[in-house]
């Protein structure tokens, strides 16, 4: 099971890295924001696709809820580990505060200031400043934790949908033995 969870998790992790690569561009190009959202919505469907393939190809068409949940959770965990490498590389070598400064720019736009009620703007600014004070490894660990928890929770509905009782098949020898026993009686 781990072998297949790693293989499918690697594919899912590459998908997540490609999806994350679009995120910084979403601040300036609206199409990438839309594409990022669409790819995010595709994650559970891709998880279902991989879990169904595992059920049909490896488990001979049948899998219990627990087995499906463990497999799907492991798949998301392996995807999260691979994605964490991409997150670390981005925040350590590429970002240089770009995401935090982009959020601050958005918060200081005139239209946003008019829509914000009370201390919400100040709290958002504090959150962005806190985010910008984190080291790349701390940001990566936060995102890794979120991805693993999100994957374990997302695995529940996927496992419920994927579970299927094992098909009982009899080979020709078993059928002949059963027919002989029926004939003797």
Residue pLDDT, tens place only, 71-104: 999 999 999 999 999 999 999 999 999 999 998 8
pLDDT digits 0-9 by tens, 127-158: 999 999 999 999 999 999 999 999 999 999 99
- Does residue 14 lie within any of the structural domains? yes
Angle in degrees, 0-180, between the axes of helices 30-57 and 2-22, rounded to the nearest 10: 170
Q: Is the pLDDT of residue 184 over 80?
A: no
Q: What is the DSSP string of 159-180?
A: HHHH-BPPP----HHHHHHHHH
Which range of 34-43, 110-119, 171-180 scores highest in mean pLDDT? It is 34-43
- Does residue 116 lie within any of the structural domains? no
The dihedral through the CA atoms of 29, 33, 34, 40 has a sign that is: positive
Q: Among 21-25, 69-73, 165-169, whose mean pLDDT is lowest?
A: 165-169
At 165 the pLDDT is 75
- Does residue 10 lie within any of the structural domains? yes
- Does residue 164 lie within any of the structural domains? yes
Helix (H) or strand (E) holding 62: none
Q: CA-CA distance, 71 to 9, in Å (whole number)?
A: 10
At 159 the pLDDT is 95
- Does residue 43 lie within any of the structural domains? yes
- Does residue 180 lie within any of the structural domains? yes
Is residue 24 classed as helix, strand or coil in its secondary structure?
Answer: helix
Strand partners, 63: 164
At 152 the pLDDT is 95
- Does residue 90 lie within any of the structural domains? yes
Give me the domain span that covers residue 179.
2-95+137-184
pLDDT digits 0-9 by tens, 25-79: 999 999 999 999 999 999 999 999 999 999 999 998 889 999 999 999 999 999 9
Q: Is the pLDDT of residue 183 over 80?
A: no
- Does residue 124 lie within any of the structural domains? no
Q: How many domains does the chain have?
A: 1
């Amino acid at each position: 099971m781990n072998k297949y969870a790693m293989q499918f998790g690697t594919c899912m992790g590459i998908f997540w890295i490609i999806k994350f690569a679009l995120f910084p561009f979403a601040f300036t190009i609206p199409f990438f924001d839309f594409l990022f959202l669409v790819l995010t919505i595709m994650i559970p469907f891709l998880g279902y696709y991989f879990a169904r393939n595992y059920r049909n190809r490896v488990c001979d068409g049948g899998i219990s809820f627990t087995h499906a949940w463990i497999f799907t959770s492991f798949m998301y965990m392996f995807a999260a580990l691979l994605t964490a490498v991409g997150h670390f590389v981005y925040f350590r070598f590429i970002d240089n505060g770009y995401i935090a400064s982009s959020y601050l720019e958005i918060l200081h736009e005139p239209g946003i200031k008019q829509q914000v009620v009370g201390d919400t703007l100040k709290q958002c600014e504090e959150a962005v400043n806190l985010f910008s004070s984190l080291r790349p490894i701390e940001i990566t660990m936060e995102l890794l934790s979120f991805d693993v928890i999100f994957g374990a929770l997302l695995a529940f509905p996927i496992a419920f949908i994927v579970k299927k009782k094992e098909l009982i098949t009899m080979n020709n020898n078993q059928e002949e033995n059963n027919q002989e026993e029926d004939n003797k009686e």
